[in-house]
Amino acid sequence: MPRNKVVLVACGTAVATSTVVANAIEEEMRERGITVDIRQCKATEVPSLIHDVDLVVSTTPVPPDLDKPVITTLAFLTGIGKDEVLDKIEAALRD
Amino acid sequence: MHDSILQHLDPEAICLGVEATSGREVISLLAGRLAALGRVRESFADAVLAREASMPTGLPLGGDLNIAVPHTDPEHVVTPSLALATLVRPVSFGSMDDPDEQIPVGVVMMLALADKNAQIDMLREVAELIQRPGALAALAAATSPDDIFAVLRA
């Protein structure tokens, strides 16, 4: 059985916004038939946690040159463009 | 209905019609209220200001009325709480996804969080509130804490 895809969700403090984003991604991907493992971190911690991660979703800029797909979005907080971002996340996880 | 927000928002932590000229001023005001209520440590205000300077919390909502959600690490928090300010004139906050971009903010909701899992309901409700059509405008138009609570109970 293939392992679950791992999504690293980052924000400034890893306590507020990334929690909202992590929950939303987990729920929405489950509805689309994708089980994901979610991890949360501060944006500054992303480079040290990136090695076995399939996708990074962040609400704030993360360091460059991560060699993994990165989606920076506020859609899970503001609602603006949420469907498009969910499609992008799904596409990245189905690769 | 935003039960968890209602539970965490003391009327004393609501500042309506604030005349401020900067985001820092609003943050200091709200952090001072929470500190006076004993809900955050004295270090909270400086920690929020520092975090806002490097990683701002403005959320662009595609219109004239944007919101900022300043917050910081749990170690500065005593009791999980919210504080809310509405501004007579918008002040600039950096945008969360692009700190170099300044956006006009008319409503500030400060989050004092102690544990992300314990406060997930509150955080989810804050996101729902931001996304609810008209809710932010209704908050901005409030003239009393009761008006605010009416919006949150709707």
For the domain that residue A10 is a member of, what is the CATH number? 3.40.50.2300
Tell me the residue type at B62: G
Per-residue pLDDT tens digits for A18-41: 889 999 999 999 999 999 999 999
Instruction: Read off the pLDDT of each residue in B17-22 and give the average, rounded to a whole number.
Output: 98
Tell me the residue type at B23: G
A73–B69 C-beta distance less than 8 A: no
Q: Give the orientation angle of helix A17-31 with respect to helix A82-94, to 10 degrees.
A: 70
Q: Note the pLDDT of residue B120.
A: 81
Q: Is B60 on the interface with A (CB under 8 A)?
A: yes
Percent pLDDT > 90 in chain A is 83
List alpha helices for A1-95, DSSP H. Answer: 17-31, 46-49, 75-78, 82-94
Q: How confident is the model at residue B2 (pLDDT cuts 50, 70, 90)?
A: confident
Owning domain of residue A67: 5-94
pLDDT surpassing 90 at residue B41 = yes
Residue B40 is given by DSSP the state B
Residue A2 is given by DSSP the state P
pLDDT surpassing 70 at residue B113 = yes
Picking from A9, A59, A10, A43, the residue whose alpha carbon sits closest to that of residue B97 is: A59
Q: How confident is the model at residue B64 (pLDDT cuts 50, 70, 90)?
A: confident
Q: How many domains does chain A have?
A: 1
Q: How confident is the model at residue B135 (pLDDT cuts 50, 70, 90)?
A: very high
Q: Note the pLDDT of residue B22.
A: 98
pLDDT surpassing 70 at residue A1 = no
A12–B57 C-beta distance less than 8 A: yes
Structural domains of chain B in order of their starting residue, each with its CATH number: 3-153 (3.40.930.10)
Compute the nearest-CA separation of B68 from chain A (Å): 11
CB within 8 Å of chain A, chain B residues 104-123: 111, 113, 116-117, 119-120, 123
The Cα–Cα gap between B130 and A38 comes to 24
Instruction: Read off the pLDDT of each residue in B51-71 and give the average, rounded to a whole number.
Output: 93
The Cα–Cα gap between B91 and B72 comes to 20
Residues A72/B97, Cβ–Cβ less than 8 Å:
yes
pTM as predicted: 0.92
In this structure, the number of other CB atoms found within 10 A of the CB of residue A42 comes to: 19
Give the burial string for B44-76 (b: 16+ CB within 10 Å, else e).
bbebbbebbeebbbbbbbeeeebbbbbbbbbeb
